[in-house]
Amino acid sequence: MDKILRVNMNDLTTTVEEVPTEWAGLGGRALTSTIVAKEVPPTCHALGPNNKLVFAPGLLSGTAASNSGRLSAGAKSPLTGGIKESNVGGTAAQMFARLRINALIIEGMPKGDGWFSLRINKDGVSIQEESGLLGLGNFAVIDALQSLLGKKTGVMAIGPAGEMKLTSANISVKDPSGKIRSHGRGGLGAVMGSKRIKFISIDDEGAPGIQIAEPEKFKAASRIFTKALMDHPVSGQGLPTYGTNVLVNILHEAGGLPTRNFTYGQFDGHEQISGETMHETIVARGGKPRHGCHAGCVIQCSQVYNDKDGQYLTSGFEYETIWGLGANCLIKELDDIAQADNVMDDLGIDSIETAVAFGVAMEAGILPWGDGKEVVRILRDEIGKGTALGRVIGSGAGAVGRTYGVTRVPVVKNQAIPAYDPRSVKGIGITYCTSPMGADHTAGYTIATNILNVGGQVDPLKKDGQIELSRNLQIATAAIDSTGMCIFIAFPALDIPECLPALIDMLNARFGATLTGDDVVGLGKTILKTERAFNLAAGMTNADDRLPEFFNSDPVAPHQAVWDFTNEEIDAFWNF
């Protein structure tokens, strides 16, 4: 039986429920957003008893489909005050799927000060009191749980940042190497911390496994899909070789690499932190240039980055993190950024929000521009120990700006703007403005078409076609986020005609359904509208769909571009 696990922290009870018919065809983001919209009062306090934390594997998670192992987490976001979905690789989604758990819903809040953990297995979910692992970082938690419960155990945990309910706190998920992937954005780790759950362990021993309605059809479609992923130059070659960080040099060249807290569009240290340099460094130090964040990933954009002595420093070292501390904070040493990435993983804190917060902190004069060692110190000794300064920075870019009176604060809906300057890459600005998630590049990745010439070409410096581009991508992304697919399948999906039909064929073969392309688009639209309706009911208005005003007034070099969309033009995004 497919089931929903429900955990009530008010009275420490758990139940196993049948999946209601209206949720039966939903997975991933479609399911988390539907549940949050239905069950969470939009005006509740995100860290109060009325918020709920929902996890759901994608529709294809647990199957043999390539790149289908993403897990969605959803709740009302303490960072944005709106609805949030954040998805992640790691091993948990596939375990959920094999256990036939469509969703885990955590509600309420315990009385007293005690902490708890959840254990999931074939019999359901149980609640334990927890004290031994409190205060520990994610790496120690995972190590301890692996010795206690075995190497294969799945782990979803919060670090000290989540325990402190910092609004940048993420939920960390164990990856196949025993390291960490993160539900990074929107402070979902704080929601888990507010329910005083330190970790969730998963044991899929004796799991019933996935049932495929039409196995032969599934296999055939899966083969075509995987071939498309391997054939496309981005997913087949570029990502596995250079990782996402290949973008540093491209965005620098295009003048869209936000530098010195979004003052300039180019960074003179770009070569030192580029994907090309990173690739050479990884190879020279015996790291791994390619690595999958979950079993079944054939793209493998991730990597293992070693230090000078050949010892593990970090993995899943992403463009956004490297940009954020690199160009945006003027740090030129990749090793310092890698060290910071490792500490952020251990503390359980979003590396985008935190990097942008450091940029604002440097603008405020709290630490010097480009001082990577001081960034690592502040992470460890201030955020890690919960000092006042640490809590301010750990509460995100908006909080730093408000506390120190900085006006150049790159956030939308209080969530930090990542990695692409919206003045010189205008399509992504529309995504930042309109996504119900707050500024989020993954919500509708127009960089593909604005900069990378994937899925056609739309001039990044002009307004023409950007609204439509962002809308189409946001609709498609909402649907992809529901399948459990990694967003990077979008590169082949945009360019290779067989790719998307094969994905739909897999869905149909998995469930014995008869979905068409239109149904999938319809699903994407419904998800976006559901999320937007939640935000409006939470008190947001069209005025929240805006970039900070400095983007209108301060031109960004080298193209001297400004953000020049009118409010009416932006609002037209929602005409669908």
Give me the residues that bind ligand SF4 (CB under 6 A), please: 67, 89, 292-294, 297, 299-302, 486, 488
In the complex, minimum distance from the CB of residue 420 to ligand SF4, in angstroms, rounded to a whole number: 18
Q: What is the DSSP string of 442-456?
A: GGS-THHHHTS--SS
Q: How many CA atoms lie within 13 A of 540 on its CB side?
A: 27
DSSP 561: B
DSSP string, 528-552: HHHHHHHHHHTT--GGGS---THHH
319 binds, among other proteins, ligand SF4, none (CB under 5 to 8 A by kind): other proteins
CA-CA distance, 399 to 165, in Å (whole number)?
14
400 vs 335: CA distance, rounded Å: 25
What is the end-to-end Cα distance of the chain in Å, rounded? 37
Report the residue number, 100 or 270, with the smaller CB distance to other proteins. Answer: 270
Stretch that binds other proteins, among 197-205, 228-236, 497-505, 531-539 (CB under 8 A): 228-236
Our finding on whether 276 is near other proteins (CB under 8 A) is: yes
Q: What CA–CA distance (Å, rounded) separates 187 from 193?
A: 10
Q: Which amino acid belongs to residue 357?
A: A
Residue 300 identity (one-letter amino acid): Q
Residue 293 site contact among other proteins, ligand SF4, none (CB < 5 to 8 Å, cut-off depends on kind): ligand SF4
Paired sense of beta strands 197-202 and 115-121, if any = parallel
Min CB(305)–ligand SF4 separation in Å: 14
Nearer to ligand SF4 among residue 299 and residue 500 (C-beta):
299
Q: How far is CA 419 from the centre of its chain?
A: 14
Residue 28 CA to residue 482 CA, distance in Å, equals 4
Please report whether residue 447 would count as binding other proteins according to CB under 8 A: yes
Pick the binder of other proteins from 255, 316, 396, 401 (CB under 8 A): 255
Binding other proteins (rule: CB under 8 A), the pick from 170, 245, 435, 472 is: 245
Q: Is 241 in the site for other proteins (CB under 8 A)?
A: yes
For residue 491, state whether it binds other proteins (rule: CB under 8 A).
Answer: yes
CB of 81 or CB of 275, closer to other proteins:
275
Query: Which 453-482 positions form the footprint of other proteins (CB under 8 A)?
Result: 453-454, 457, 459-461
- Written as one letter, the residue type at 345 is D
How near is the Cβ of 182 to ligand SF4 at its closest, in Å? 11
Q: Are 289 and 281 in contact (CB under 8 A)?
A: no
One-letter identity of residue 291:
H
Interface characters, 317-356, with other proteins (x: CB under 8 A)? --x-------------------------------------
Q: Which is nearer to ligand SF4, 396 or 492 (CB)?
A: 492
> Going residue by residue from 89 to 118, which x/- string records binding to other proteins, judged by CB under 8 A?
------------------------------
CB atoms within 10 A of CB 504: 20
Would you say 23 or 491 has its CB closer to other proteins?
491
Among 239, 313, 331, 540, binds other proteins (CB under 8 A): 239
Torsion of CA 352, 356, 361, 363, to 10 degrees: 160
User: 75 φ, ψ to 5°?
Assistant: -175, 175
Alpha carbon distance 178, 161 (integer Å): 20
| Stretch binding other proteins (CB under 8 A), from 150-158, 179-187, 269-277, 514-522 | 269-277
Binding residues (CB under 8 A) for other proteins: these are 233-235, 237-239, 241-247, 249-250, 253-255, 271, 275-276, 301, 319, 441-442, 445, 447-448, 451-454, 457, 459-461, 487-488, 491, 558-559
